[in-house]
Amino acid sequence: MAKSTMQLSISNRLHVFRAEHKITQDQLAKEIGVTRATIIAIEGGGYNPSLELAFRLARYFKTDINTIFSAEEEKK
């Protein structure tokens, strides 16, 4: 019998938080110690940040990780 596997699809609202706080990708990157390319990749969904980076983003915006990031299970 074959096992079904679940994968998580991670999405984020980082661009929304940046817009609400009127901060550029470059400014945010400098504030949390990453490159602008990292912020672009996260916002575009091409990169899921480490747990540490997710916490840094949440702390910067004074919110919790689940407010910025969400995960849905996908059956494969």
Mean pLDDT within 48-54: 97
Q: How confident is the model at residue 4 (pLDDT cuts 50, 70, 90)?
A: low
Tokens of 56: 């840094």
Q: Is residue 5 very low, low, confident or very high in pLDDT (cuts 50, 70, 90)?
A: confident
Burial 24-39 (b: 16+ CB within 10 A, else e): ebeebbeeeebeeebb
pLDDT score for 74 = 79
Q: Per the CATH hierarchy, to which homologous superfamily does domain 10-66 belong?
A: lambda repressor-like DNA-binding domains (1.10.260.40)
Q: What mean pLDDT is reported for the chain?
A: 93
The residue with tokens 């407010």 is 67
